[in-house]
Amino acid sequence: MSHPTRKLDITHGRIDMTHGSGGRAMAQLVDELFAPAFRNDYLAQGNDQAILPPPGGRLAIATDSHVISPLFFPGGDIGSLSVHGTVNDLAMGGATPLYLSAGFILEEGLPLADLKRIVDSMAAAARDAGVRIVTGDTKVVERGHGDGVYISTTGIGVVADGVQLCGSQAQPGDAILVSGTLGEHGMAVMSQRENLGFASPIVSDSAALHTLAAALMAASPGLRLMRDPTRGGLATTLNEIARQSGVGMQLQEDAIPLQPAVRAACEFLGLDPLYVANEGKLIAVCPAAEADAALAALRAHPLGRHAANIGQVVADPHHFVRVRTPFGGERLLDWLAGEMLPRIC
Amino acid sequence: MKYVDEFRRGDVARGLAARIAEAVQPGRHYRLMEFCGGHTHAIARYGLTGLLPAAVQLIHGPGCPVCVLPIGRIDSAIELALQHGAIVCSYGDCLRVPASNKLSLYKARALGGDVRMVYSTADALQIARDNPARQVVFFAIGFETTTPPTALALKAARAEGLRNFSVFCNHVLTPPAMQHLLAAGDAVQLDGFIGPSHVSTVIGSAPYQAVADAYAKPVVIAGFEPLDVLQSVLMLVERINRGEAGVATQFTRAVTTDGNATARAVVAETLVLRPTFEWRGLGQVPQSALAIHPDYADFDAELRFGLPYRHVPDHRACECAAILRGQKQPQDCKVFGIVCTPDNPLGSCMVSSEGACAAHYHYGRFTAPQEQPA
């Protein structure tokens, strides 16, 4: 392909409308910035589509759009997040993630240095997770019509025979496990918001969960389901499962793992950490008889060291998720209503 | 978490609950109104009602700042954003309060209004500095707790000559509301008050004395932590047994008799009493709210934009008024949890987690077996 003779000025350059016009500038952006980072045989074919070999099992497909602000946060950035989000959606169904597609909506004015940092981080996250980014698309919108960059990824994975996980399979008596401390992603992002900025040691937990999920599946053959508690946090995810399975849940509040810094930050912002987003945690429901083995498997994995058994599935026609407080009282853990807003006094 | 966990210890709570159960006298009722939304939230969040004997009844009061804001005031804030094109800044909860025409400040944003959530008045001032060509209005709401920051913002705006900044002042006062509840002809029978927490750090405990004496009721100023609430219930039960009225403070780690003199002075300098103010649920309450002092009239959004006040009646099916007066419980309302939910609030009590209805919906509705399955 013929390009302008001068190379992209990654250090000082910015995205402009020509990068989305379909002309030479766009081809140069793809060739000099995206292709080297994501390099693989399918992408190298340079076609409008990637043609992939038969995967040898049932296909899983998941899609996720990422619109996070700020683009960079402690523990990650929109690039790594866009890989982890989709990989985890596949992994929660028991799939081994294989391929990703990536759509970029870039805002005019975005520094190329930022874009390169994001793309490199995305490539590293994909490499670490063992998935390949095999096809993509780039569009540019006028300044003021985007938030720097939006990334949409779609993932394809393969599910082994016999694996049958589903949100409708929780049964009364089952154990509810979480793979670690909650709320770190949401609070790490919130600590960086310009009107809020507070100093904290909280780092996003953003991570690919498929190897943790595989270890769990191996330890608990009767595993009912896995979910990653992203937006809306533990509370929302458990309510989704309760509704889907037609059951209730009974949790023990002091069993739910939380980092002291997350508790403290939530305390002064008037937020409940059980509603705060995670990007590297999973919730599992398994038969009570397999709970100890499942927990041991989670704890043996670096991403599951603080895993805990937090309660059990119960029969309840109202599908309530109830929490027993350390006080001996009981309360409801309800769906998140509206956007999570801090209380004022 | 230091200085927090100490006030949430389960063993201490159970000890206090046992002492309350012992102190309660047979055949006697203890109807205690927790004035503040912060108390309502703590009671629901920690399941405190379940720890108390049946004779102790907790009645939710009108102390949730967004709950008592009448619809007409929200309508005016929406008008500022949509008709006057101002940047309207307010605290989070306020954005979801239902107003006329199925609007809220949140929905006004979707219609193109520039409505911004701020964490403090300092954020609103910064928005005004950053947008010199735009009018920036701080929609000030809340009790005495949130009043000093508004007062400081007025002073800062005048000192800087921040001409594009103004305040739409809706601050309300606690003691007149307490007096109004006790004086009303349809007053609910109350035996005592769990008195305001953060409000009292500003105004002190003294301002409740007149009300407590006039109506011969005990008032115990209580912190917002669950053990604070339980200890205050015990103090109230003991006082009711002894027939003792007057003001006592449980929240001694933060409340003094006279409160915060610096905060009170800055409020007195920048704000003045309104002759009367409409509260949602309570109606017109004389001398119960603050307006901007004539010295600061240049920063008064009501004057700058000529905002007229219009009374707007609540939705007919909504029982917020009776709930805010302590006459009804959330589950007594026909639309509770059916038409009126936190996602689609009909009344203001369903908005903030400090509102009686939202607190019950979020934390306690499994105790109401008559409810429809979700």
pLDDT in tens, A111-151: 999 999 999 999 999 999 999 999 999 999 999 999 999 99
Evaluate whether the domain defined by A17-159 bears CATH number 3.20.20.10: no
Judge: B8–A342 Cβ closer than 8 Å, yes or no. Answer: no
Residue B300 is given by DSSP the state: B
In a domain, B44, yes or no: yes
Which domain CATH number covers B92? 3.40.50.11740
Is residue B168 domain-shared with residue B265, that is, in the same domain? Answer: yes
Per-residue pLDDT at A194:
60
Work out the pLDDT band at A286, boundaries 50, 70, 90. very high
Nearest-by-Cβ selection for A338 from B8, B48, B343: B343
Is residue B210 domain-shared with residue B106, that is, in the same domain? Answer: no
The answer on pLDDT for B75 being more than 90 is yes
The per-residue pLDDT of chain A, averaged, comes to 93
Taking a C-beta distance cutoff of 8 angstroms, is the pair A294, A286 a contact?
A: yes
In a domain, B310, yes or no: no
CA–CA distance, A255 with A126 (Å, rounded to integer): 33
pLDDT in tens, A199-230: 788 999 999 999 999 999 999 999 999 999 99
Whether chain A has a CB inside 8 Å of the CB on B11: the answer is no
How many distinct structural domains can be found in chain B?
A: 3
Judge: B13–A328 Cβ closer than 8 Å, yes or no. Answer: yes
Whether chain A has a CB inside 8 Å of the CB on B65: the answer is yes
pLDDT in tens, A30-44: 999 999 999 999 999
Nearest-by-Cβ selection for B146 from A319, A332, A345: A345
Higher pLDDT, A283 or B363: A283
Is residue B167 domain-shared with residue B178, that is, in the same domain? Answer: no
The percent of residues in chain B predicted with pLDDT above 90, rounded, is: 71
In a domain, B286, yes or no: yes
Judge: B361–A342 Cβ closer than 8 Å, yes or no. Answer: no
The answer on pLDDT for B344 being more than 90 is no
Work out the pLDDT band at A6, boundaries 50, 70, 90. confident
- Which amino acid is it at A157? G
Is residue B289 domain-shared with residue B153, that is, in the same domain? Answer: yes
Among A2-6, B9-13, B68-72, the range scoring the smallest mean pLDDT is A2-6
Contacting B residues, span 98-157, partner chain A, CB-CB under 8 Å: 106, 117-119, 123, 141-143, 145-146
Residues with Cβ within 8 Å of residue B352, at least 6 apart in sequence: A343, A344, B37, B64, B65, B66, B67, B93, B358
pLDDT in tens, B121-172: 999 999 999 999 999 999 999 999 999 999 999 999 999 999 999 999 999 9
Neighboring chain B residues of A326 at a CB cutoff of 8 Å: 8-10
Residues with Cβ within 8 Å of residue A189, at least 6 apart in sequence: A68, A70, A73, A204, A277
Q: Where do the domains of chain A lie?
A: 17-159, 175-332
Is residue B222 domain-shared with residue B338, that is, in the same domain? Answer: no
Provide the domain limits for residue B283. 71-172+259-304
Is residue B111 domain-shared with residue B181, that is, in the same domain? Answer: no
Whether chain A has a CB inside 8 Å of the CB on B14: the answer is yes
Whether chain A has a CB inside 8 Å of the CB on B7: the answer is no
Judge: B374–A243 Cβ closer than 8 Å, yes or no. Answer: yes
Which domain CATH number covers B232? 3.40.50.11750
Pick one of 3.90.650.10, 3.10.105.10, 1.10.1740.10, 3.40.50.2300 as the CATH number of A175-332: 3.90.650.10
The per-residue pLDDT of chain B, averaged, comes to 92
Contacting A residues, span 322-341, partner chain B, CB-CB under 8 Å: 322, 325-332, 334, 337-338, 341
Is residue B207 domain-shared with residue B289, that is, in the same domain? Answer: no
Per-residue pLDDT at B370:
41
CA–CA distance, B13 with B231 (Å, rounded to integer): 9
Q: Which residue of chain B is at minimal alpha-carbon distance from A240?
A: B374
Mean pLDDT, residues A36-61 taken together: 93
The answer on pLDDT for A340 being more than 80 is no
In a domain, B312, yes or no: no
Nearest to B166 by CA among B201, B124, B205, B118: B124
Judge: B143–A345 Cβ closer than 8 Å, yes or no. Answer: yes
Place of tokens 């109350």: B190
Q: pTM, whole model, 2 decimals?
A: 0.87
The answer on pLDDT for B29 being more than 60 is yes
Is residue B55 domain-shared with residue B148, that is, in the same domain? Answer: no
Neighboring chain B residues of A331 at a CB cutoff of 8 Å: 44-47, 363-364
